[in-house]
A = this chain, B = another copy of it.
Amino acid sequence: MRQKEFHDLLCVDEAKEKFYSNIFRGTLGTERVDVIDGLGRVISSDIMARIDVPPFARSQRDGYAVAASDTFGADEEMPVKLKLSGENIQAGSEAENALESGCAVRIATGAPMPRGANAVVMVEYCNECTGIVEVQSCVHPNENVMHTGEDVMQGEVVFRRGARISSCDLGVLAAIGVTEIEVFSRPRVAVISTGNELAEPGDELFGAKIYDVNSRMIVGACRECGAIASFLGISKDDEKDIEKLLSRALEYDVIIISGGTSAGAGDVCYRVVDEMLSPGILVHGVAVKPGKPVVLGAHNKKPVVVLPGFPTSCIVMFNLFVKPVILSMCGVKEDVSARIKAKCAVRYCSSQGKHEFVLSNVVKGDGSYFAYPVPKTSGAVTGFSSADGYIEIAQDVEYIEKDEDVDVVLLSDDVTVPDVVFIGSQCMGADAGLSILSKRGYLSRVINVGSTGGIGACLRGEADVSGVHLIDAKSGVYNVGFMDEGLMLVRGYRRRQGIMFRRGCGYKSLGDFVSDDKMRLINRNGGSGTRVLFDMLLDELKDGCRREKIAGYDVEAKSHNAVACAVASKKADWGIGIYSAAKMYGLEFIDIRDEEYDFCVPAGRFQKKSVQEFVSVLKSGEFKKRVLAMDGFVVPEDIGDVVCG
């Protein structure tokens, strides 16, 4: 088995240099569009005003047009009397006569100034009597007047090539009478997915197939950049198949292929790109994490990129290498994403010798923001979607200290501030509560880090609420003993825990399962509440039990559902978990005991409106109904009450 092993990886800057110098990154022509369709587009040549705005000197107020010098000295006690002209100048109509010295003329907001007048006295400071206006306040020359061209001057460059049109810009274009503008054409991007394992969303999933994630994500990301993106389809890991799609893709301005870049047997894609295109592959592998196996190539100056199949790697590499190219083709200067300063919530060790992008959630703590690295591998699709941004770690940095200052590059345009930050153990019951809360208008953010992580987040003021189910191995009591000073515990619900297994084994107790060494266990991960319970139960077994005797004791799954799934699919024969998971996978279930899932709240946050609303949700009939509809959930009388703290 010989494979390319990425020994000589380029660093990010070298890779960019090699890629950029072999492709054309300029704009691709221009087109004329109606102004209103120009929203969000990029202007391709300077726009010069052909008229002055306003086109004439006009009044900015309702009042009286005057010669400012005629009002000098006027105040409430000594008003100046001016002769009233018969005219009443309205917006849209021209002044008929010049203003004579010592006179005033009625004028409305937006109406043109008459010759001879150089200021407007607001109506509030005037009293009109027959043929006379008493002016109670003096005005200086130009007061309440907007001059010809004061806003935009004829000949002034109003928009420069490269400006992106916003809704306010539409107003400026209207003001100078422009109805059509010339904008840069949008680049057309072809998106191809490769991999024998890929199925189209909507199709049935069977065997070892997974749904194709990257194509939709990349199409969406291209559209967000302003490009026209088309998905050409999924190709098998087969030369002919890839060649066929790649030939079609050659008509486009940018070609993005995802998957097929692992150094494994599936690198057919890599070979096809290199053989079919000219010059073909420029860079294969970059010292970056995630995204190492990215391929950067070109065909007659046209960018061709093979993004890694793992979704997070895929989108990180898209942002790093492809997005700047597409933006530049759109005529946009490489954009600088918004950043916020935060403290790293945990110590983070980086990958040696790689430029690393660490997806992170950002929450507001006491006094500053805290960044939580998202604990997902690059194979996860949810990592990028749930993150607020990322921390960039240079190739030569080994770790980031806890509480070290970091810059978080935000992924989204606006930083949404959730009403409730929920950090702790994931549970369908808590999900239901947050869902009801959202219907009541409160936005929540959920970060699943397990019970212990949740309590830490509450202590540091980062979480408003944490879901916890921690058993004290000595006392067998849930949660209460883990409440440090400054924390409150709110009663939640109970979940039935037990042994799950496939129909027909006939065993009745934990002892039965443990003593049959043909029955393979799927265990839970260390530190999880269920694992603590399981180890406690093993110690309590009458005859004792040596863990290494249990087949599969060291095979761990990270959730109730994963345990159930492993048993249902015969990867294992039994496991410990909650009843709802067993039911979902059609497994048999033997009760062990109820687990208590409660809510921890920092004392200082308990009176917060959104937290009070969450407590009221817990006490509501709707919540009780939804939780009881889940299999094996029990709602106690005192749900929502403060248990301690």
A binding-site residues for B, Cβ under 8 Å: 1, 3, 5, 35-36, 39, 46, 51-58, 60, 62, 68-69, 88, 90-94, 106, 108-113, 115, 118, 123-124, 128, 141-142, 146-158, 160-162, 166-179, 195-198, 201-203, 205, 207-221, 223-224, 237, 262-266, 309-311, 315, 333, 335-338, 376-377, 379-382, 384-385, 411-417, 426, 428, 431, 434-435, 438-439, 441, 443-444, 525, 554-559, 561-562, 565-566, 569-571, 580, 584
| Bound CA–CA A209/B175 (angstroms) | 11
Asked if B171 contacts A216 (CB within 8 A), the reply is yes
| CB contact between A377 and one of B60, B202, B210, B310 (< 8 Å): that residue | B60
Asked if B214 contacts A88 (CB within 8 A), the reply is no
| Bound CA–CA A319/B377 (angstroms) | 41
Q: Which residue of B lies closest to A108 (CB)?
A: B264
Q: Closest Cβ of chain B: how far from A392's Cβ, in Å? A: 17
Asked if A220 contacts B170 (CB within 8 A), the reply is yes
Q: Which residues of B contact A128 (CB under 8 A)?
A: 1
Q: Which residues of B contact A151 (CB under 8 A)?
A: 376, 379-382
Asked if A51 contacts B205 (CB within 8 A), the reply is yes
| CB contact between A149 and one of B217, B223, B444, B559 (< 8 Å): that residue | B559
Q: Which residues of B contact A207 (CB under 8 A)?
A: 92-94
10 inter-chain pairs at a CB distance below 8 angstroms, sorted by A residue, are A39-B220, A92-B195, A115-B570, A141-B556, A149-B562, A157-B428, A158-B382, A176-B211, A336-B415, A413-B413
Q: Which residue of B lies closest to A557 (CB)?
A: B147
Copies of this chain, how many?
Answer: 2
| CB contact between A124 and one of B5, B46, B205, B337 (< 8 Å): that residue | B5
| CB contact between A559 and one of B69, B153, B201 (< 8 Å): that residue | B153
Q: Which residues of B contact A152 (CB under 8 A)?
A: 381-382
Asked if A554 contacts B69 (CB within 8 A), the reply is yes
Asked if A209 contacts B92 (CB within 8 A), the reply is yes
| Bound CA–CA A336/B179 (angstroms) | 33
Q: Which residues of B contact A441 (CB under 8 A)?
A: 333
Q: Which residues of B contact A554 (CB under 8 A)?
A: 68-69, 118, 141
Q: Which residue of B lies closest to A265 (CB)?
A: B108
Q: Describe A's contact surface by its main secondary structure.
A: loop
Asked if A412 contacts B379 (CB within 8 A), the reply is no
Asked if B148 contacts A106 (CB within 8 A), the reply is no
Asked if B5 contacts A123 (CB within 8 A), the reply is yes
Asked if A55 contacts B417 (CB within 8 A), the reply is no
Q: Closest Cβ of chain B: how far from A157's Cβ, in Å? A: 4
| Bound CA–CA A32/B431 (angstroms) | 23
Q: Which residues of B contact A382 (CB under 8 A)?
A: 53, 151-152, 158, 172, 175
Q: Closest Cβ of chain B: how far from A313's Cβ, in Å? A: 11
| CB contact between A380 and one of B150, B264, B435 (< 8 Å): that residue | B150
| Bound CA–CA A123/B66 (angstroms) | 89
A-B contacts besides A3-B123, A51-B205, A174-B212, 15 pairs, CB < 8 Å: A1-B128, A62-B264, A68-B554, A109-B266, A110-B262, A147-B557, A166-B220, A167-B218, A167-B315, A168-B221, A171-B213, A171-B384, A175-B382, A177-B201, A338-B415
| CB contact between A384 and one of B88, B109, B160, B168 (< 8 Å): that residue | B168
Q: Closest Cβ of chain B: how far from A523's Cβ, in Å? A: 9
Q: Which residues of B contact A212 (CB under 8 A)?
A: 174
Which one of A36, A223, A385 has the greatest number of beta carbons of chain B within 10 Å?
A385
Q: Which residues of B contact A263 (CB under 8 A)?
A: 62, 123
| Bound CA–CA A3/B123 (angstroms) | 8
| CB contact between A202 and one of B92, B109, B179, B335 (< 8 Å): that residue | B179
| CB contact between A161 and one of B153, B309, B435 (< 8 Å): that residue | B435
Asked if A195 contacts B91 (CB within 8 A), the reply is yes
| Bound CA–CA A435/B157 (angstroms) | 9
A69-B554, A262-B109, A338-B338 known; A379 vs B60 contact (CB < 8 Å): yes
| Bound CA–CA A197/B54 (angstroms) | 12
A90-B266, A265-B88, A443-B162 known; A52 vs B562 contact (CB < 8 Å): yes
| CB contact between A556 and one of B115, B142, B179, B443 (< 8 Å): that residue | B142
| Bound CA–CA A461/B269 (angstroms) | 53
| Bound CA–CA A434/B60 (angstroms) | 33
A51-B205, A264-B109, A559-B153 known; A414 vs B335 contact (CB < 8 Å): yes
Asked if A333 contacts B416 (CB within 8 A), the reply is yes
| Bound CA–CA A108/B264 (angstroms) | 6
A92-B195, A207-B92, A335-B414 known; A1 vs B172 contact (CB < 8 Å): no
Q: Closest Cβ of chain B: how far from A121's Cβ, in Å? A: 12
Q: Closest Cβ of chain B: how far from A20's Cβ, in Å? A: 13
| CB contact between A555 and one of B118, B172, B380, B381 (< 8 Å): that residue | B118
Q: Closest Cβ of chain B: how far from A160's Cβ, in Å? A: 5
| Bound CA–CA A219/B584 (angstroms) | 49
Q: Which residues of B contact A5 (CB under 8 A)?
A: 123-124
Q: Which residues of B contact A311 (CB under 8 A)?
A: 171, 175
Which one of A60, A141, A176, A201 has the greatest number of beta carbons of chain B within 10 Å?
A201
Asked if A93 contacts B196 (CB within 8 A), the reply is yes
| Bound CA–CA A210/B152 (angstroms) | 13
Asked if B91 contacts A197 (CB within 8 A), the reply is yes
Asked if B561 contacts A56 (CB within 8 A), the reply is no
